[in-house]
């Protein structure tokens, strides 16, 4: 039977991770997969996570199943974290959350939900977008369309082109938006642009699907959720996929959630019943360990403070790396314009180089990034800034 299958090429992001691991060079620099690294190049277990984990292991009395919805105390805490306690959808009991295996699990379950509700659903994603959005959403049978998002010449959001395209999307179509720290460009909507988008979505009857995978990596936990909160207030229905891979560093534990905002308490209860059936039919129940850690951190005031401080330290370190890289490139290039590396938010920015240059950076300079030139700046250390800047300038000349 399996002779019908052709071998597939490597995943655009995970393939880079594998190539980096296989490179024996002590000089190698990993700007590939989106994980945070500290100044020594390690992806640490946060202190708040270590403490929570110790408590959980000490108190745990069973490994029995939880439920397809995961932990209810986790789901409640996630709604507060994403929307805030006073959000109209929260006060009106018009939002549900279901724990999922990471943000990927949330995105896929949400896509399956959209397809269950309307089999011909079209979804518009930004151009460019995170490589895995395409299989996660398209694999559920949604029809994928692109809207322009980034102007590579100015290294800024191409907002007018984005609006122009979305104005032409038919009512009922879904629009995927990155809540903050756009992956792969780092170019985010500002507050005024979020207002324009919210008005457009509501007037045109488009359904927002918000991907919030980097909450806390741009401004802070509340600041990074502002766009999501605004949209969830202005439209009757939306979906939100969130992830705790990055902001709690729980990558391999697979902790995320799908939130659905609807028109009434009864409507979101119906939505929830479908979400649970979809979850049951794919993975049955989400893994528990990471969500148990998250609950401990979200609900214990002291641990939560530790988390907020650790998250701020991660964010500030990435911002510092952005500044250092821009400065080094400016210096070595004799004053080139690299302001966008400082201006953009979150882990990623695009180098703006061809796949051939990206290959050259890898083969000659041991610098790893995805073929589209996406650089994970959280992978930089003070020691790798200068070699990277020199490599970029030599490879792009």
Cα separations in angstroms, 263 against 94, 206, 249, 269? 6, 15, 34, 11
**129: contact with ligand LMR by CB under 6 A:** no
Q: 97: which 2 tokens?
A: 């959350």
- Per DSSP, 132 falls in state T
Give the dihedral of Cα atoms 199, 203, 204, 206; nearest 10 deg.
60
**Binding positions for ligand LMR, 4-23, rule CB under 6 A:** 13
**344: contact with ligand LMR by CB under 6 A:** no
Q: 209: which 2 tokens?
A: 């699907």
Which residue matches tokens 């369309």? 145
In terms of CB distance, is 76 or 132 closer to ligand LMR?
132
**82: contact with ligand LMR by CB under 6 A:** no
Q: Are 246 and 347 spatial neighbours (Cβ–Cβ below 8 Å)?
A: yes
Which residue matches tokens 């980097």? 214
**180: contact with ligand LMR by CB under 6 A:** no
Q: Where are the beta strands (DSSP E) in the chain?
A: 29-30, 95-100, 122-127, 143-148, 150-151, 156-157, 174-178, 207-212, 238-243, 256-261, 348-350, 367-368, 374-376
**Is 160 annotated as catalytic?**
no
Q: Which long-range contacts (CB under 8 A, 24 or more apart) does 329-333 make?
A: 329/389, 329/392, 329/393, 331/389, 332/389, 332/390, 332/393, 333/393
Please compute Rg for the chain using Cα positions: 21
Give the shortest CB-287-to-ligand LMR separation in angstroms. 16
Residue of this chain nearest to ligand LMR (CB atom)? 34
**239: contact with ligand LMR by CB under 6 A:** no
In terms of CB distance, is 268 or 388 closer to ligand LMR?
388
**34: contact with ligand LMR by CB under 6 A:** yes
**33: contact with ligand LMR by CB under 6 A:** yes
In terms of CB distance, is 130 or 159 closer to ligand LMR?
130
Q: How many residues bind ligand LMR (CB under 6 A)?
A: 6
How many whole angstroms from its chain centre is CA 356?
Answer: 27
Catalytic annotation, pick one of 213, 260, 291, 294: 213
Give the shortest CB-314-to-ligand LMR separation in angstroms. 15
**130: contact with ligand LMR by CB under 6 A:** yes
170 three-state secondary structure:
coil
Give the shortest CB-333-to-ligand LMR separation in angstroms. 27
Catalytic annotation, pick one of 30, 173, 241, 246: 246
**132: contact with ligand LMR by CB under 6 A:** yes
Give the shortest CB-183-to-ligand LMR separation in angstroms. 5
In terms of CB distance, is 178 or 317 closer to ligand LMR?
178
- Per DSSP, 110 falls in state H
**Is 292 annotated as catalytic?**
no
**373: contact with ligand LMR by CB under 6 A:** no
**Is 213 annotated as catalytic?**
yes
In terms of CB distance, is 33 or 81 closer to ligand LMR?
33
**Is 211 annotated as catalytic?**
yes
User: For residues 370 and 361, what is the distance between their CA atoms, to the nearest angstrom?
Assistant: 11
**256: contact with ligand LMR by CB under 6 A:** no
**150: contact with ligand LMR by CB under 6 A:** no
Give the shortest CB-96-to-ligand LMR separation in angstroms. 25
**369: contact with ligand LMR by CB under 6 A:** no
**185: contact with ligand LMR by CB under 6 A:** no
Q: Are 296 and 303 spatial neighbours (Cβ–Cβ below 8 Å)?
A: yes
Q: Are 69 and 96 spatial neighbours (Cβ–Cβ below 8 Å)?
A: no
In terms of CB distance, is 135 or 336 closer to ligand LMR?
135
Give the shortest CB-151-to-ligand LMR separation in angstroms. 21
Q: Are 278 and 113 spatial neighbours (Cβ–Cβ below 8 Å)?
A: yes
**183: contact with ligand LMR by CB under 6 A:** yes
Using CB under 6 A as the criterion, which residues of the chain lie in contact with ligand LMR when the complex forms? 13, 33-34, 130, 132, 183
* Active site (catalytic) residues: 130, 211, 213, 246
């Amino acid at each position: 039977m399996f002779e019908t299958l052709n071998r597939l090429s490597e995943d655009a992001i995970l393939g880079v991770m594998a190539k980096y691991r296989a490179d024996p060079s002590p000089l190698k620099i990993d700007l590939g997969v989106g994980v945070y690294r500290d100044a020594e190049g390690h992806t640490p277990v946060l202190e708040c996570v270590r403490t929570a984990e110790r408590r959980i292991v000490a108190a745990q009395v069973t490994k029995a199943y939880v439920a397809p919805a995961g932990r209810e105390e986790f789901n409640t805490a996630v709604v507060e974290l994403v929307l805030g306690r006073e959000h109209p959808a929260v006060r009106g009991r018009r939002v549900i959350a279901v724990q999922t295996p990471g943000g990927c699990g949330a995105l896929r379950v949400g896509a399956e939900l959209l397809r269950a509700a309307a089999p011909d659903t079209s979804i518009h994603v930004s151009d460019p977008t995170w490589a895995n959005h395409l299989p996660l959403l398209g694999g559920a049978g949604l029809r994928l369309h692109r809207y322009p998002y980034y102007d590579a010449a100015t290294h800024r959001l191409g907002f007018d082109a984005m609006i122009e395209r979305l104005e032409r999307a038919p009512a009922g179509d879904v629009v995927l938006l990155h809540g903050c720290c756009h992956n792969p460009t780092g170019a985010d909507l500002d507050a005024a642009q979020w207002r324009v988008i919210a008005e457009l979505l509501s007037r045109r009857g488009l359904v927002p699907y918000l991907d919030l995978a980097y909450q806390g990596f741009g401004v802070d936990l509340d600041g990074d959720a502002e766009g999501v909160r605004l949209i969830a207030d202005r439209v009757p229905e939306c979906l939100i996929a969130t992830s705790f891979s990055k902001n709690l560093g729980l990558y391999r534990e697979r902790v995320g959630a799908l939130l659905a905002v609807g028109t009434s308490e009864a409507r979101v209860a119906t939505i929830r019943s479908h979400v649970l059936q979809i979850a049951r039919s794919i993975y049955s129940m989400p893994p528990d360990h990471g969500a148990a850690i998250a609950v401990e951190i979200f609900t214990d005031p002291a641990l939560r403070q530790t988390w907020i401080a650790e998250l701020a330290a991660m964010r500030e370190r990435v911002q510092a790396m952005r500044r250092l890289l821009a400065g080094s490139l400016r210096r070595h290039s004799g004053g080139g314009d690299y302001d966008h590396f400082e201006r953009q938010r979150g882990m990623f920015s695009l180098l703006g180089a061809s796949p051939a240059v990206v290959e050259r950076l890898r083969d000659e300079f041991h610098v790893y990034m995805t073929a589209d030139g996406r650089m994970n700046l959280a992978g930089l250390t003070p020691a790798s800034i200068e070699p990277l800047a020199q490599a970029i300038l030599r490879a792009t000349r």
